């Protein structure tokens, strides 16, 4: 088995946006007695994340709450500076630090947030939100008629038709799904190449989620957008994303074509995630409780593999060295950052950390 530093899943389509070794540590403010100590503490929210977004392709970023998904999106959108690592747009390093350069970057890389109600100002109409986006990014045309056409075009793109029915509405006059479509239209007002969609359907009724995901897929196909789709729901990644990356405690632990990652998960954490997901074809008793074991503290994360305190396969090496990405070899750029796939481990490294299925004190691990 070979070690691969930055495998990307299937195909040869153009890379639009890439993160290389992206890392973000948030400083922790000191309180009480800590004020006397000189040690600086930080939340190690994102560690050494490498991923690529391709033109005309959806890439899912999946993981449980607190695993660092939104932080990755915000770093890619340049809403925060990274602690280390590089972001490149069409191969050019990105570091905007606000101002004109940020505006030029955000024209090409737009973000959609989870809560469309919070992201639209309740005192302004759809017309106001979309006109503002079109004007900021120089897409409003030169005459009032060109502006009207651009507004109608955006609303039609997100299937809010006829446009005149929606353009003068306030956010509270729209359903959740319609509001999210307006938020997507506003992002499209920039005419971007990349959409970073942070849980775009998780606050919507289940019945309308599919419609919004299908809209995003339609935009990917028609406008050849590169889309990052952030979700807790690995089943929706299989349906909607071309490739899937799984995050655990700030690190990417597995990636590859969505079908492969979801049908043949290689990393023990991805396996847990899939077994914990509700599946209509599996009796409830067989579903594992995703709450068994807690994600670690990101202020003081475990050495080596961050999953090692929860992992039923953990070996000595897992608690000592961070596993690199190992190619799984079943196609589609499939890789896992897990020592189980390292083929030249010394016998001493393979010693089990605990008896399978049992934690110190006799508690069930999984």
By CB under 6 A, what part of segment 212-271 binds ligand ATP?
A: 232
Up-side HSE of residue 260: CA atoms within 13 Å toward CB?
A: 22
DSSP three-state, residue 111: strand
**318: contact with ligand SF4 by CB under 6 A:** yes
Say how many residues touch ligand SF4, by CB under 6 A: 14
**Which tokens go with 105?**
């970057």
Nearer to ligand ATP, 235 or 327 (CB): 235
**Which tokens go with 281?**
């074809």
76 binds, among ligand ATP, Mg ion, ligand SF4, none (CB under 5 to 8 A by kind): none
CB of 92 to ligand ATP, least distance (A): 25
Contact by Cβ (8 Å): 293, 309:
yes
Contact by Cβ (8 Å): 311, 248:
no
Instruction: Name residue 231's beta-bridge partners.
Output: 62
| Beta strands 226-231 and 243-248, pairing class | unpaired
Residue with the CB atom nearest Mg ion in the bound state? 70
> Of 242, 225, 227, 322, which is closest to residue 21 (Cα–Cα)?
322
**200: contact with ligand ATP by CB under 6 A:** no
Single out the residue of 70, 78, 125, 260 in contact with Mg ion (rule: CB under 5 A).
Answer: 70
CB of 207 to ligand ATP, least distance (A): 22
Stretch that binds ligand ATP, among 68-76, 116-124, 262-270, 322-330 (CB under 6 A): 68-76
**296: contact with ligand ATP by CB under 6 A:** no
Nearer to ligand ATP, 69 or 129 (CB): 69
Q: Could you count the other beta carbons within 10 Å of the beta carbon of residue 307?
A: 25
Contacts of 66 (CB under 8 A, 6+ apart): 249, 295, 298
Single out the residue of 171, 268, 295, 333 in contact with ligand SF4 (rule: CB under 6 A).
Answer: 268
List strands edge to edge, sheet with 335-336.
109-112, 194-198, 226-231, 57-62, 243-248, 251-257, 335-336, 326-327
Single out the residue of 186, 313, 325, 334 in contact with ligand SF4 (rule: CB under 6 A).
Answer: 313
Please tell me the distance from the alpha carbon of residue 40 to that of residue 51, in angstroms, as a whole number: 29
**231: contact with Mg ion by CB under 5 A:** no
**295: contact with ligand ATP by CB under 6 A:** no
**51: contact with ligand ATP by CB under 6 A:** no
Single out the residue of 16, 17, 43, 197 in contact with ligand ATP (rule: CB under 6 A).
Answer: 43
78 binds, among Mg ion, ligand SF4, ligand ATP, none (CB under 5 to 8 A by kind): none
Q: At what angle do helices 126-136 and 144-157 cross, to 10 degrees?
A: 110
Nearer to ligand ATP, 248 or 339 (CB): 248
> Of 223, 12, 190, 200, which is closest to residue 107 (Cα–Cα)?
190
Nearer to ligand SF4, 108 or 264 (CB): 264
268 binds, among ligand SF4, Mg ion, ligand ATP, none (CB under 5 to 8 A by kind): ligand SF4
Which residues contact ligand ATP (rule: CB under 6 A)?
26, 43, 45, 63, 65-71, 232, 298
Which residues contact Mg ion (rule: CB under 5 A)?
70
């Amino acid at each position: 088995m070979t070690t691969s530093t930055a495998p990307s899943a299937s195909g040869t389509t153009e890379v639009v946006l890439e993160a290389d070794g992206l890392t973000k540590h948030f400083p922790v403010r000191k309180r009480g007695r800590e004020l006397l100590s000189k040690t600086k503490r930080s939340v190690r929210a994102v560690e050494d994340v490498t991923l690529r977004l391709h033109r005309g392709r959806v890439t899912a970023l999946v993981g449980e709450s607190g695993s660092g998904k939104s932080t990755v999106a915000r770093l890619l959108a340049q809403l925060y500076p990274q602690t280390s690592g590089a972001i490149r747009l069409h191969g050019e390093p990105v570091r905007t630090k606000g101002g004109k350069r940020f505006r030029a970057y955000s024209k090409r890389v737009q973000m959609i947030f989870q809560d469309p109600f919070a992201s639209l100002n309740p005192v302004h109409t759809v017309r106001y939100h979309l006109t503002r986006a079109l004007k900021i990014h120089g897409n409003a045309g030169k005459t009032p008629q060109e502006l009207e056409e651009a507004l109608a075009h955006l609303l039609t793109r997100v299937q809010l038709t006829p446009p005149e029915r929606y353009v003068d509405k306030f956010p509270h006059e729209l359903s959740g799904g319609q509001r999210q479509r307006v938020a997507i239209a506003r992002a499209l007002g920039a005419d971007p190449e990349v959409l970073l969609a942070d849980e775009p359907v998780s606050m919507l009724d289940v019945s309308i989620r599919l419609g919004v995901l299908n809209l995003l897929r339609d935009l990917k196909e028609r406008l050849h957008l590169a889309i990052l789709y952030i979700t807790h729901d690995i089943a929706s990644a299989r349906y909607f994303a071309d490739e899937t990356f799984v995050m655990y405690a700030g690190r990417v632990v597995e990636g590859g074509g969505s079908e492969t990652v979801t049908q043949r998960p290689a990393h023990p954490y991805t396996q847990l995630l899939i077994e914990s997901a509700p599946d209509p074809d599996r009796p409830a008793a067989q579903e594992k409780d995703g709450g068994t074991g807690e994600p670690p503290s990101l202020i003081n994360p475990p050495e080596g593999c961050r999953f090692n305190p929860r992992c039923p396969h953990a070996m000595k090496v897992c608690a000592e060295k961070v596993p690199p990405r190992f190619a799984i070899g079943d196609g589609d750029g499939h890789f896992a950052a897990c020592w189980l796939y390292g083929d030249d481990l010394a016998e001493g490294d393979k010693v089990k950390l605990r008896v399978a299925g049992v934690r110190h004190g006799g508690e069930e691990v999984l």
